[in-house]
């Protein structure tokens, strides 16, 4: 039977790459977005035109009520959600001493509380079904820490902690919880990096390249599949070797 995946923050970037790959691999795909309605609708149209099974639904992952409404709407269209990919995220570069309370709270609310909200909204059904895959998108900076991104690094480390703890709790219910920690990926999130910085990053990376959304999508597809049924609680870094 066709499985259903909910991908948060899927209007562009890594999320949109995952939408395309999962839709092409016979999943029903919920394209979650918050602000970029046009991007999400264009992506939905692109895939519907190929007779693929997708639906764009708005919800701000910070807001549990909106997340529950999205999950209820998804349920009406596709039935149970089998796979949740917590991908929605924001980044910010600032000196630690310049980070305001508002910056910090927003970082926590989108990147960590958002993961909590979306997981909470789908987990009860997964437990009842004794089946589910939760894939959290953290960052290599959550593993090794980034200068001028202390709040980002802290919440991405929180996502890693949540992954490991939840994997232990829901493993007996047949649910795998894993985490991908991407390195530098070519998306809008890095559009502020100039040519010089990008070239320096490439030089520091053993594989000598910047990642693409598809590199993360391919890994997520594997973690969503039963080929990875013995893998849970893992943090898999995909960064071209930058943080080895």
Q: Which residue lies nearer to ligand NAP by CB, 127 or 154?
A: 154
Q: Is 152 a catalytic residue?
A: yes
Closest approach of ligand NAP to the CB of residue 67, in Å: 9
Closest approach of ligand NAP to the CB of residue 169, in Å: 23
Interacting residues with ligand NAP (CB under 6 A): 8-15, 32-36, 60-62, 87-91, 110, 137, 139, 182, 184-185, 187-190
Which of 27, 33, 152, 196 is the catalytic position? 152
Of 64, 63, 60, 67, the residue nearest 89 (C-alpha): 60
Q: Which residue lies nearer to ligand NAP by CB, 171 or 178?
A: 178
Q: Which residue lies nearer to ligand NAP by CB, 161 or 174?
A: 161
Closest approach of ligand NAP to the CB of residue 202, in Å: 13
Q: Which residue lies nearer to ligand NAP by CB, 36 or 176?
A: 36
**CA–CA dist 43, 24 (Å, integer):** 13
Closest approach of ligand NAP to the CB of residue 165, in Å: 19
238 has which bridge partners?
A: 182
- The residues assigned a catalytic role are 152
């Amino acid at each position: 039977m066709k499985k259903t995946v909910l991908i948060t923050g899927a209007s562009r970037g890594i999320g949109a790459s995952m939408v395309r790959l999962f839709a092409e691999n016979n999943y029903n795909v919920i394209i979650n977005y918050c602000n970029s309605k046009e991007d999400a609708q264009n992506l939905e149209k692109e895939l519907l035109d190929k007779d693929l099974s997708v639906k764009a639904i708005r919800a701000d992952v910070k807001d549990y009520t909106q997340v529950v409404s999205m999950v209820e709407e998804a349920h009406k269209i596709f039935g149970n959600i089998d796979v949740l990919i917590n991908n929605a995220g924001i980044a910010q570069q600032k000196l630690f001493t310049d980070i305001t309370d508002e910056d910090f709270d927003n970082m926590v609310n989108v990147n960590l509380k958002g993961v909590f909200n979306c997981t909470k909204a789908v987990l009860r059904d997964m437990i009842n079904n004794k089946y589910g895959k939760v894939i959290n998108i953290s960052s290599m900076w959550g593993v090794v820490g980034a200068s001028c991104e202390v709040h980002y690094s802290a919440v991405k480390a929180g996502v890693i902690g949540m992954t490991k703890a939840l994997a232990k709790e829901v493993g007996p219910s047949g649910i795998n919880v894993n985490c991908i920690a991407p390195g530098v990926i070519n998306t809008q999130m890095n559009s502020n990096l100039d040519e010089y910085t990008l070239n320096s990053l490439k030089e520091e990376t053993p594989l000598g390249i910047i990642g693409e959304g598809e590199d993360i999508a391919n890994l997520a597809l594997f973690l969503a599949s039963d080929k990875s049924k013995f893998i849970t609680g893992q943090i898999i870094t995909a960064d071209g070797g930058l943080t080895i």
